[in-house]
Chain A
Amino acid sequence: MTSVGRRLGAILLGSYLVLFFLYLESPLLIIFLTSFSRGASLTFPPDGFSLHWYARLWDYVHDAAGLQPGLVASAWTSVWLGASAMAGSVVVGVLVAFGLRRYRFRGHALVRQCFLLPILFPQVVIGVGLLLWFSAIRGVPSWLRLVLGHLILTLPYVIVTAGASLDTLDEKLEEAAMNLGANRLQTFWHITLPSIRSGIVSGALFAWLISFANFTVTFFLYSGEMRPLPVWIYENLQRVIDPSLAALSTLVVLLTLVVLLIMNRLVALGRLVGLRG
């Protein structure tokens, strides 16, 4: 093929990539555009530009008419739930990641697989399984159900990010510390933890996002007084869909994006999924 042909191929591939990523981000872009629409119907192209759906959102904060009440409570529940799942999975996950790196034993790969299982496990089954278990033992407060459910979901992500950091940590540094008289605990505290700080922080953000964005497991475990944001949005999708929901979604997307950008700075997302990025 000639160089013209090769350049043509490159242009075709490049255009395809552009189209693909437009398509990939399109639902979020549409939500973004819709949130600025003037009319109440969800048409394309949006009829005019206005910010009044964001103003409407402000009314909902005060539980004015239209949507279901409890927006602020739901948002707080989500933030708080994410923080709890994050704190728990960071502590537990760092220990597991450390143990997996430190000790080699028979069945090591299998144990690791087990810890990572919830990433790919059918979430509906996690949800109904926990639901049936909790209804069998009764008396489990709904916050505990949600935290445990989300802990199961978020733990593997911390193990993966902390583990990725640990893998790049030079074992000799820990040996040097021990050679200088630091015992195992001191070595862990002064050398290992500071060295994988970025991995831990990005794992924590990861955990928070996973919890914040989770709908499926949450859907089976929430209760009236603890209704995280995705459930609140779901309940409103069942009723009237108007652009104020798009305005809310836009805000959620922006928040998520900020967290993602911070994470991406710490550990390139591509590296976590096995690409060199």
Chain B
Amino acid sequence: MSLAGVSAPPAPPRSRGGAGAHRTGRRLPWGGVLFLPGALVIGSLLVACLILFRYSLNAWDPVRTMVTSWTGANYLALVRDPVVRRAFIETLRIGVTVTLVCLVLGYPVAYGISRSRKRALLMFLLVAPLLMDALLRSFGWLVMLGHHGLVNVLLTGLGVWASPKRLIYTPLSVIIEMIHELIPFMVLPIASVLERIDPTLHEAAMNLRAGPVRAFWFITLPLSLPGVLAGTLLTFALAMSAFVAPLILGGGNVLTMTILIQQQMLTTLNWPLGSAESIALVLVVLAVLTAYGRQARRIARGSA
């Protein structure tokens, strides 16, 4: 999965009244050349999206596959088709569950990281798994959740379960994997907000006779809510577009939007419907990400 820039602030304020701006502002037409190669790369992503949009207006025929046309039928199908609706609800259900669990499990981690003296090490441990091949992580969970895997061995050994349960290829295993995959995205924004809270505020509260618990409840927690919101939005957006976990750990039994898109595109070859689903997914994810971006900028400005 992805990581950097997650909570990187937009751009630092220029030193001294925007020295860079007026110095060269009028040479921008030439400066634009610097962006040209980058614009080509990002532009190709936009072209790909435009093609998806165009295809989403085409009609589909089981024999002739895609038929050029201008129709909104595919978008109607998004709402009416029971399979699509099921996939959408499943995606939402998984996304919400994953996000909530990440929040509950991740907040103390963020708190611990922001208070720790070994922050650099913990940051490394937090971020490193993100840069590992997503497939290997899923493979690891496949092994751990297997019939004779760690989880079953532990839980039957402790007497929680009478006999090993089937965990892989269920929505539960997908959720478990995704929590693991996305929890750093919850922790990072919260930790970066917690880290900026002036520790003297907590001390001042204690000085005013608030115990550590109440000082946390009345001071630290409210001040960290902007980070909680940012982390929640980010985690949810990424959960909506997760692909590897449902593919590997779902094993065909878990139908999310991304899996549905993959099936339409590669198996049934219903490109128009698959395109419409892609566009819908992009719109939902971008909407959540826009809210996240606004929140992240507010945090960076320190006015959250």
A binding-site residues for B, Cβ under 8 Å: 1, 5-6, 9, 13-14, 16-17, 20-21, 23-28, 30-31, 34, 41-45, 88-89, 91-93, 95-96, 98-105, 108-109, 111-126, 128-133, 136, 148, 151-152, 155-157, 159-161, 164, 167, 171, 206, 209-210, 212-213, 215-216, 220, 229-230, 233-234, 237, 241, 245-246, 249, 252-253, 256-257, 260, 264, 268-270, 272-277
A171 touches B11 (CB 8 A): no
B262 at the interface (CB under 8 A from A): yes
B225 at the interface (CB under 8 A from A): no
**Contact residue among A17, A89, A122, A230 (Cβ-Cβ distance under 8 Å from B109):** A17
Give the chain A neighbours of B248 by CB distance below 8 A: 234, 237
User: CA–CA, A9 to B281, complex, Å?
Assistant: 43
A259 to B: closest C-beta gap in Å: 8
With contacts A96-B38, A157-B4 taken as known, whether A246 is within 8 angstroms of B108 at the C-beta atoms is no
Give the chain A neighbours of B136 by CB distance below 8 A: 27-28, 31, 233, 249, 252-253
B265 at the interface (CB under 8 A from A): yes
CB-nearest residue of chain B to A217: B243
18 of the cross-chain contacts (CB-CB < 8 Å) are A1-B211, A5-B212, A41-B148, A44-B144, A45-B153, A95-B35, A96-B34, A104-B14, A104-B18, A114-B42, A120-B285, A124-B258, A133-B44, A215-B133, A216-B243, A241-B139, A264-B124, A270-B127
A273 touches B8 (CB 8 A): yes
User: CA–CA, A160 to B2, complex, Å?
Assistant: 13
Stretch in B19-27, B69-77, B80-88 with 4+ CB within 8 Å of A: B19-27
CB-nearest residue of chain B to A23: B180
B101 to A: closest C-beta gap in Å: 12
User: CA–CA, A91 to B36, complex, Å?
Assistant: 12
A116 touches B5 (CB 8 A): yes
CB-nearest residue of chain A to B149: A44
With contacts A95-B35, A129-B45 taken as known, whether A24 is within 8 angstroms of B293 at the C-beta atoms is no
| Pairs of residues from A and B, 9 with the lowest C-beta to C-beta distance, nearest first | A27-B140, A129-B48, A122-B241, A270-B123, A99-B34, A274-B7, A43-B148, A96-B38, A104-B21
With contacts A103-B20, A124-B278, A129-B48 taken as known, whether A275 is within 8 angstroms of B148 at the C-beta atoms is no
B271 at the interface (CB under 8 A from A): yes
With contacts A123-B243, A210-B131, A237-B139 taken as known, whether A30 is within 8 angstroms of B144 at the C-beta atoms is yes
CB-nearest residue of chain A to B215: A1
With contacts A100-B11, A156-B5, A260-B128 taken as known, whether A270 is within 8 angstroms of B120 at the C-beta atoms is yes
With contacts A132-B275, A246-B143 taken as known, whether A95 is within 8 angstroms of B10 at the C-beta atoms is no
4 further A-B contacts with Cβ under 8 Å, apart from A30-B150, A93-B38, A120-B289, are A24-B180, A27-B136, A91-B37, A100-B11
B21 touches A152 (CB 8 A): no
Give the chain B neighbours of A133 by CB distance below 8 A: 44, 47-48, 51
B49 at the interface (CB under 8 A from A): yes
Give the chain A neighbours of B119 by CB distance below 8 A: 270, 275-277
Stretch in B92-100, B188-196, B197-205 with 4+ CB within 8 Å of A: B188-196
User: CA–CA, A237 to B6, complex, Å?
Assistant: 31
A130 touches B48 (CB 8 A): yes
B241 touches A123 (CB 8 A): yes
B45 touches A122 (CB 8 A): no
B162 at the interface (CB under 8 A from A): no
**Contact residue among A6, A112, A216 (Cβ-Cβ distance under 8 Å from B10):** A112
CB-nearest residue of chain B to A6: B212
Chain B contact patch, size range: 35 or more
Most A Cβ at <10 Å: residue of B4, B48, B153: B4
B304 at the interface (CB under 8 A from A): no
CB-nearest residue of chain A to B31: A103
User: CA–CA, A81 to B183, complex, Å?
Assistant: 29
B233 to A: closest C-beta gap in Å: 11
B binding-site residues for A, Cβ under 8 Å: 2-12, 14-15, 18-21, 24-25, 28, 31-32, 34-35, 37-38, 41-42, 44-45, 47-49, 51-52, 55, 105, 108-109, 111-113, 115-116, 119-120, 122-129, 131-144, 146, 148-150, 153, 180, 183-184, 188-189, 191-192, 195, 211-213, 234, 237-238, 240-241, 243-244, 248, 258, 261-262, 265-266, 271, 274-275, 278, 281-282, 285, 289, 293, 300
User: CA–CA, A16 to B148, complex, Å?
Assistant: 26
A213 touches B42 (CB 8 A): no
User: CA–CA, A277 to B211, complex, Å?
Assistant: 28
With contacts A100-B11, A124-B262 taken as known, whether A273 is within 8 angstroms of B41 at the C-beta atoms is no
B44 touches A152 (CB 8 A): yes
Give the chain A neighbours of B191 by CB distance below 8 A: 275
**Contact residue among B42, B124, B275 (Cβ-Cβ distance under 8 Å from A269):** B124
Give the chain A neighbours of B275 by CB distance below 8 A: 128, 132
A122 touches B282 (CB 8 A): yes
User: CA–CA, A125 to B212, complex, Å?
Assistant: 47
Give the chain B neighbours of A101 by CB distance below 8 A: 11, 20
Give the chain B neighbours of A92 by CB distance below 8 A: 37-38, 41
Give the chain B neighbours of A206 by CB distance below 8 A: 4, 131
With contacts A104-B25, A230-B135, A274-B192 taken as known, whether A122 is within 8 angstroms of B4 at the C-beta atoms is no
A160 touches B212 (CB 8 A): no
